[in-house]
Amino acid sequence: MSAERVYVALGSNLGDRAETLRRAREAIDALPDTRVAGASDVEETEPFGPVAQGPFLNQMLAVDTTLSPDALLDALLAIERAAGRVRDAAVRWGPRTLDCDIVLFGDRRVETERLTVPHPGLAHRDFWRRELRQLGVEPLDADDDPRSLATR
Ligand code: A4P
Ligand code: MG
Protein backbone atom coordinates (compact mmCIF):
# COMPACT_ATOMS: atom_id res chain seq x y z
CA MET A 1 0.00 0.00 0.00
CA SER A 2 1.42 3.40 -0.86
CA ALA A 3 1.92 6.05 1.77
CA GLU A 4 -0.51 8.91 2.20
CA ARG A 5 0.38 12.46 3.17
CA VAL A 6 -1.07 13.44 6.53
CA TYR A 7 -0.86 16.77 8.37
CA VAL A 8 -0.54 16.48 12.14
CA ALA A 9 -0.81 19.53 14.40
CA LEU A 10 1.21 19.57 17.61
CA GLY A 11 0.46 21.83 20.57
CA SER A 12 1.99 22.18 24.02
CA ASN A 13 1.55 24.69 26.82
CA LEU A 14 2.96 22.92 29.88
CA GLY A 15 6.49 21.97 30.88
CA ASP A 16 9.41 22.23 28.46
CA ARG A 17 7.26 22.92 25.43
CA ALA A 18 9.99 22.94 22.79
CA GLU A 19 11.46 19.68 24.08
CA THR A 20 7.99 18.11 24.12
CA LEU A 21 7.48 19.02 20.45
CA ARG A 22 10.94 17.70 19.57
CA ARG A 23 10.20 14.37 21.24
CA ALA A 24 6.80 14.17 19.55
CA ARG A 25 8.45 14.64 16.14
CA GLU A 26 10.91 11.86 16.96
CA ALA A 27 8.21 9.54 18.24
CA ILE A 28 6.04 10.05 15.14
CA ASP A 29 9.04 9.50 12.86
CA ALA A 30 9.73 6.23 14.72
CA LEU A 31 6.23 4.81 14.12
CA PRO A 32 6.04 1.82 11.78
CA ASP A 33 5.80 2.73 8.08
CA THR A 34 5.70 6.41 9.00
CA ARG A 35 8.08 9.27 8.27
CA VAL A 36 8.05 12.94 9.17
CA ALA A 37 8.58 14.56 5.77
CA GLY A 38 8.38 18.20 6.78
CA ALA A 39 7.71 20.58 9.63
CA SER A 40 6.46 24.16 9.84
CA ASP A 41 8.12 26.69 12.11
CA VAL A 42 7.34 26.31 15.78
CA GLU A 43 5.23 29.31 16.77
CA GLU A 44 4.04 30.69 20.06
CA THR A 45 0.31 31.38 20.04
CA GLU A 46 -2.12 32.95 22.50
CA PRO A 47 -4.48 30.37 24.01
CA PHE A 48 -7.98 30.25 22.56
CA GLY A 49 -10.97 28.71 24.32
CA PRO A 50 -12.74 29.13 27.65
CA VAL A 51 -9.89 28.21 30.00
CA ALA A 52 -7.35 30.84 31.15
CA GLN A 53 -3.97 29.24 30.47
CA GLY A 54 -0.46 29.94 29.29
CA PRO A 55 0.62 30.40 25.67
CA PHE A 56 1.09 27.40 23.40
CA LEU A 57 3.85 26.33 21.13
CA ASN A 58 2.26 24.99 17.95
CA GLN A 59 3.76 23.24 14.94
CA MET A 60 2.39 21.40 11.90
CA LEU A 61 4.07 18.25 10.60
CA ALA A 62 3.80 16.70 7.14
CA VAL A 63 3.77 12.95 7.73
CA ASP A 64 3.88 10.13 5.18
CA THR A 65 2.34 6.91 6.44
CA THR A 66 0.69 3.69 5.38
CA LEU A 67 -1.12 3.47 8.73
CA SER A 68 -4.90 3.79 8.66
CA PRO A 69 -6.47 6.90 10.20
CA ASP A 70 -7.57 4.83 13.22
CA ALA A 71 -4.14 3.28 13.69
CA LEU A 72 -2.44 6.66 13.41
CA LEU A 73 -4.87 8.15 15.95
CA ASP A 74 -4.11 5.30 18.38
CA ALA A 75 -0.39 5.92 17.95
CA LEU A 76 -0.78 9.68 18.48
CA LEU A 77 -2.88 9.13 21.62
CA ALA A 78 -0.14 6.83 22.99
CA ILE A 79 2.47 9.53 22.27
CA GLU A 80 0.26 12.10 24.06
CA ARG A 81 -0.07 9.78 27.03
CA ALA A 82 3.68 9.21 27.19
CA ALA A 83 4.26 12.98 27.17
CA GLY A 84 1.48 13.47 29.73
CA ARG A 85 3.11 11.45 32.49
CA VAL A 86 4.80 14.52 33.88
CA ARG A 87 1.77 16.79 33.91
CA ASP A 88 -0.90 17.67 36.45
CA ALA A 89 -4.39 16.28 36.04
CA ALA A 90 -5.63 17.58 32.71
CA VAL A 91 -8.52 20.01 32.64
CA ARG A 92 -10.80 19.58 29.65
CA TRP A 93 -9.84 22.22 27.05
CA GLY A 94 -7.15 23.25 29.50
CA PRO A 95 -3.38 23.12 29.64
CA ARG A 96 -1.76 20.07 28.15
CA THR A 97 1.75 18.74 27.81
CA LEU A 98 1.02 17.56 24.31
CA ASP A 99 -1.94 17.59 21.94
CA CYS A 100 -1.70 15.85 18.56
CA ASP A 101 -4.50 16.45 16.07
CA ILE A 102 -4.93 14.90 12.63
CA VAL A 103 -5.78 17.92 10.48
CA LEU A 104 -5.77 16.34 7.00
CA PHE A 105 -5.35 12.71 5.91
CA GLY A 106 -4.68 12.51 2.18
CA ASP A 107 -7.94 13.54 0.58
CA ARG A 108 -9.97 11.41 2.92
CA ARG A 109 -13.05 12.43 4.80
CA VAL A 110 -13.54 10.55 8.02
CA GLU A 111 -16.64 10.87 10.19
CA THR A 112 -16.62 8.33 12.98
CA GLU A 113 -17.29 8.49 16.67
CA ARG A 114 -13.62 9.02 17.43
CA LEU A 115 -12.34 10.82 14.37
CA THR A 116 -13.39 13.79 12.24
CA VAL A 117 -11.11 14.60 9.28
CA PRO A 118 -10.53 17.23 7.99
CA HIS A 119 -10.34 18.56 11.55
CA PRO A 120 -13.28 20.95 12.14
CA GLY A 121 -10.96 23.46 13.84
CA LEU A 122 -9.15 24.12 10.57
CA ALA A 123 -11.56 26.82 9.45
CA HIS A 124 -10.97 28.86 12.61
CA ARG A 125 -7.33 28.41 13.55
CA ASP A 126 -5.25 30.96 11.70
CA PHE A 127 -2.02 29.45 12.97
CA TRP A 128 -2.86 26.04 11.48
CA ARG A 129 -3.63 27.68 8.16
CA ARG A 130 -0.37 29.63 8.27
CA GLU A 131 1.61 26.50 9.14
CA LEU A 132 -0.06 24.51 6.36
CA ARG A 133 0.89 27.22 3.88
CA GLN A 134 4.51 26.88 4.96
CA LEU A 135 4.22 23.21 4.01
CA GLY A 136 2.77 24.00 0.60
CA VAL A 137 -0.91 23.46 1.39
CA GLU A 138 -3.22 26.32 0.50
CA PRO A 139 -6.36 26.25 2.67
CA LEU A 140 -9.30 28.13 1.22
CA ASP A 141 -10.86 31.11 2.99
CA ALA A 142 -12.00 30.51 6.55
CA ASP A 143 -15.62 30.85 5.43
CA ASP A 144 -15.26 28.02 2.98
CA ASP A 145 -15.90 24.41 3.76
CA PRO A 146 -12.58 22.99 5.01
CA ARG A 147 -13.38 19.80 3.13
CA SER A 148 -12.78 21.53 -0.17
CA LEU A 149 -9.12 22.15 0.59
CA ALA A 150 -6.80 22.17 -2.34
CA THR A 151 -3.27 20.87 -1.98
CA ARG A 152 -0.57 21.89 -4.37
N1 A4P B 1 -10.77 13.32 17.58
C2 A4P B 1 -11.73 13.55 16.66
N3 A4P B 1 -11.21 14.01 15.51
C4 A4P B 1 -9.87 14.06 15.70
C5 A4P B 1 -8.78 14.44 14.86
N6 A4P B 1 -8.98 14.87 13.59
N7 A4P B 1 -7.54 14.39 15.38
C8 A4P B 1 -11.03 12.81 18.93
C9 A4P B 1 -7.32 13.99 16.66
N10 A4P B 1 -8.32 13.59 17.52
C11 A4P B 1 -9.58 13.62 17.03
O12 A4P B 1 -9.01 14.70 21.98
C13 A4P B 1 -10.25 14.10 22.21
C14 A4P B 1 -10.62 13.15 21.10
O15 A4P B 1 -10.84 13.83 19.90
C16 A4P B 1 -9.58 12.13 20.71
O17 A4P B 1 -9.52 11.05 21.62
C18 A4P B 1 -10.11 11.67 19.35
O19 A4P B 1 -10.90 10.50 19.47
P20 A4P B 1 -8.22 15.39 23.17
O21 A4P B 1 -7.06 16.10 22.59
O22 A4P B 1 -7.96 14.41 24.23
O23 A4P B 1 -9.38 16.35 23.73
P24 A4P B 1 -9.41 17.83 24.12
O25 A4P B 1 -8.07 18.36 24.34
O26 A4P B 1 -10.43 17.98 25.18
O27 A4P B 1 -10.04 18.47 22.84
P28 A4P B 1 -9.36 18.95 21.53
O29 A4P B 1 -10.46 19.05 20.53
O30 A4P B 1 -8.13 18.24 21.12
O31 A4P B 1 -8.92 20.35 21.98
P32 A4P B 1 -8.52 21.43 20.94
O33 A4P B 1 -9.72 21.88 20.20
O34 A4P B 1 -7.35 20.97 20.17
O35 A4P B 1 -8.17 22.57 21.91
N36 A4P B 1 -4.76 27.50 21.99
C37 A4P B 1 -3.68 27.61 21.20
N38 A4P B 1 -3.14 28.83 20.98
N39 A4P B 1 -3.11 26.51 20.61
C40 A4P B 1 -3.63 25.25 20.80
O41 A4P B 1 -3.08 24.28 20.27
N42 A4P B 1 -5.37 23.91 21.85
C43 A4P B 1 -6.45 23.81 22.63
C44 A4P B 1 -7.09 22.50 22.75
C45 A4P B 1 -7.05 24.96 23.31
N46 A4P B 1 -6.40 26.21 23.01
C47 A4P B 1 -5.32 26.28 22.22
C48 A4P B 1 -4.77 25.11 21.63
MG1 MG C 1 -6.65 16.74 20.45
pLDDT, tens digit, 9 for 90 and up, residues 102-148? 999 999 999 999 999 999 999 989 999 999 999 999 876 545 554 44
Question: Which of 17, 96, 125, 129 does the annotation list as catalytic?
Answer: 96
| Distance between Cα 74 and ligand 1 center (Å) | 14
Q: Where are the domains of the chain?
A: 4-134
Listed residue (97, 99, 101, 74) closest to 84, CA to CA: 97
The residue nearest atom 40 of ligand 1, judged by CA position, is 11
The residue nearest atom 27 of ligand 1, judged by CA position, is 93
CATH code assigned to 4-134 = 3.30.70.560
Cβ within 8 Å of residue 78, ≥6 positions away: none
pLDDT in tens, 8-22: 999 999 889 999 999
**Contact assessment for residue 42 and residue 18, using Cβ atoms and an 8 Å cutoff:** yes
Ligand number with the minimum distance to the CA of 126: 1
- Entry pTM: 0.90
